[in-house]
Amino acid sequence: MAQRIAIIPGDGIGKEVMPEGVRVLEAAARRFGLDLELEAFDFASCDYYLEHGQMLPDDWFETLKDFDALFYGAVGWPETVPDHVSLWGSLLQFRRRFDQYINLRPCRLLPGIQSPLAGREPGDIDFYVVRENTEGEYSSVGGRMFEGTEREIVIQETVMTRHGTDRVLKFAYELARSRPRKKLTSATKSNGIAITMPWWDERVAAMGERYPEVAVDQFHIDILTANFVMHPDWFDVVVASNLFGDILSDLGPACTGTIGVAPSANINPEGTFPSLFEPVHGSAPDIAGKGIANPIGQIWSGAMLLEHLGHREAADAVVDAFEAVLTEGDRRVLTPDVGGTGTTEALGRAIASRL
Ligand code: NAI
Ligand code: MG
């Protein structure tokens, strides 16, 4: 039976990089004989909002829930729709309603890309950040009282549940176990945040009993961010709460060079609902319409999608293909953010034909 993938380009360069992501998915399907059925949607974009007064149709949940995966570009066009409206009305709805409780980002230095960290070569940086994506510090529990007076009070509570914490830890341990180094690092702050974070550490230790082959360490979040910069080679899989993971999952990819190549996945591991795969970058209004956005973030997200759907070999072949094109370093093919003079389409075509 065909696996169904919803194609949602969104806004700005999302509409430019998505065709290249699709081109490479289709090339992978041809080479490996995969039965993928792609269906495109124009909602979850600011153009849709301007026409309909909302980011999504009323029946979006029913429309999307039986897809095997969602392939997303980027959302946001602040000139016409405020960012909190476009983001909360689309991407955050998908993450919540489809219980995509894992946010997964590989942080890997690719050939031909200059790391902002001096002296780092491909192979030196190769780890994953696993972020809890549904609870923790990002709760709506709290409020304001005595607004505008000298007594003004504002409270926002962190909410961590055993269910929510254990399931993200399980995913992280499983991922660590599947990798050659089998190493897990936990982000904590149990010195300062003295209620939830010591509890988080206890859950890390308890889950670790089931994975004796995985070596575990932990750092307070402040020194952990410093170590991402000073010793990125220390890390293999890093697991973190929602807030800490948010920070680490931007810092990690930043240590590997251009934002245009970083991919991410929002995963519902049980497959009760579709998972969503998207580049880390946004809609980049400053370069939208010029045809020069780097499509590798979208293409690499497509590789993560293939792996999630069980096509490991095809996923690896996509990664090999864009690494080969980057290694070749033909400036006429590479986009300007990685030192070339090429276009989004030229780079996408080069990767697809290599595949
Ligand atoms: P951005 O990621 O869109 O752009 C930041 C900078 O990186 C810009 O200078 C841009 O030109 C460059 N850049 C981004 N992707 C690139 C690519 N593929 N190739 C070459 N250069 C690239 O972030 P920004 O400017 O903060 O946000 C713009 C819009 O995107 C906003 O509306 C924001 O809300 C939205 N956004 C959406 C995200 C999503 O859909 N997941 C994530 C981040 C921002
Ligand atoms: Mg972030």
What does the pLDDT average to over 174-178? 97
State yes or no: pLDDT of 31 exceeds 90. Answer: yes
Whether 302 contacts 264, CB under 8 Å: no
pLDDT tens, 139-157?
889 999 999 999 999 999 9
Domain with residue 167: its CATH number is: 3.40.718.10
Q: Please measure the distance between the N-terminal and C-terminal CA atoms of the chain and give it in whole angstroms.
A: 24
State yes or no: pLDDT of 305 exceeds 90. Answer: yes
State yes or no: pLDDT of 223 exceeds 90. Answer: yes
Centre of ligand 2 from the C-alpha of residue 146, in Å: 31
Shared-domain flag, residues 131 and 244: yes
Shared-domain flag, residues 147 and 38: no
Centre of ligand 2 from the C-alpha of residue 294, in Å: 20
Burial (Cβ within 10 Å: 0-12, 13-18, ≥19) of residue 129? buried
Amino acid at 174: E
> Where among 221, 255, 289 does a domain terminate?
255
- Does residue 215 form part of some domain? yes
Number of the ligand closest to the Cα of 252: 2
- Does residue 312 form part of some domain? yes
pLDDT tens, 211-222?
999 999 999 999
> Where among 255, 279, 295 does a domain terminate?
255
What does the pLDDT average to over 22-28? 98
- Does residue 111 form part of some domain? no
Which pLDDT does position 114 carry in this prediction? 87
Which is it for strands 142-145 and 153-156: parallel, antiparallel or unpaired? antiparallel
Which residues surround the ion ligand 2 when the cut-off is CB under 5 Å?
246, 250
Shared-domain flag, residues 131 and 220: yes
Shared-domain flag, residues 238 and 269: no
Q: What three-state secondary structure class fits 165?
A: helix
Burial (Cβ within 10 Å: 0-12, 13-18, ≥19) of residue 285? middle
Instruction: Count Cα neighbours of 160 within 13 Å in the Cβ-side half-sphere.
Output: 24
Q: Rounded to 5 degrees, what are φ and ψ at 170?
A: -60, -45
How many other CB atoms are there within 10 angstroms of residue 322's CB atom? 25
- Does residue 293 form part of some domain? yes
Domain limits for position 150? 126-255
Shared-domain flag, residues 130 and 231: yes
In percent, the amount of the chain with pLDDT more than 70 equals 100
> Where among 255, 286, 306 does a domain terminate?
255
Residues 199 and 211: their CA atoms lie apart, in Å, by 19
Which pLDDT does position 311 carry in this prediction? 98
In percent, the amount of the chain with pLDDT more than 90 equals 95
Which residues have C-beta atoms less than 6 Å from ligand 1? 13, 17, 74-76, 78, 83, 87, 91, 259-260, 278, 281-287, 293-294, 297, 337
pLDDT tens, 307-340?
999 999 999 999 999 999 999 999 999 999 999 9
pTM of the model: 0.94
- Does residue 107 form part of some domain? no
Which run of H or of E encompasses 257? none
Shared-domain flag, residues 135 and 250: yes
Closest by CA to 20, choosing from 354, 355, 351, is: 351
Shared-domain flag, residues 92 and 146: no
- Does residue 106 form part of some domain? no
State yes or no: pLDDT of 258 exceeds 90. Answer: no
What does the pLDDT average to over 119-128? 93
Residues 133 and 326: their CA atoms lie apart, in Å, by 32
Mean pLDDT score of the chain: 96
What does the pLDDT average to over 261-271? 96
Number of the ligand closest to the Cα of 249: 2
State yes or no: pLDDT of 134 exceeds 90. Answer: yes
Instruction: Count Cα neighbours of 292 within 13 Å in the Cβ-side half-sphere.
Output: 14
Which pLDDT does position 10 carry in this prediction? 98
What does the pLDDT average to over 182-198? 97
Task: Point out the ligand 1 atom lying closest to the alpha carbon of residue 298.
Answer: 18
- Report the residue among 103, 110, 281, 345 best suited for mutation to probe ligand 1: largest number of ligand atoms under 8 A from its CB: 281
Shared-domain flag, residues 250 and 274: no
Which pLDDT does position 140 carry in this prediction? 85
Confidence category of residue 259, pLDDT binned at 50, 70, 90: confident
Interface predicted TM-score (ipTM) of this complex, two decimals = 0.98
What does the pLDDT average to over 18-23? 98
Shared-domain flag, residues 244 and 331: no
Closest by CA to 338, choosing from 164, 113, 19, is: 113
Shared-domain flag, residues 241 and 303: no
**Which ranges of the chain would DSSP assign to H, the alpha helix?**
14-32, 46-52, 60-64, 83-88, 91-97, 162-178, 196-208, 221-230, 242-254, 296-308, 312-328, 344-354
- Does residue 121 form part of some domain? no
Task: Point out the ligand 1 atom lying closest to the alpha carbon of residue 264.
Answer: 41
Domain count, the chain: 2
pLDDT tens, 52-106?
999 999 999 999 999 999 999 999 999 999 999 999 999 989 999 999 999 999 9
Task: Point out the ligand 1 atom lying closest to the alpha carbon of residue 78.
Answer: 32
Task: Point out the ligand 1 atom lying closest to the alpha carbon of residue 281.
Answer: 2
Shared-domain flag, residues 154 and 248: yes
Which stretch, 11-15, 92-96, 252-256, has highest mean pLDDT? 11-15
Closest residue by CA, ligand 1 atom 4: 284
Whether 107 contacts 73, CB under 8 Å: no
- Does residue 116 form part of some domain? no
Identify the DSSP state of 81.
Answer: B
Residue 251: both structure tokens together: 């810092």
Whether 156 contacts 141, CB under 8 Å: yes
Shared-domain flag, residues 76 and 18: yes
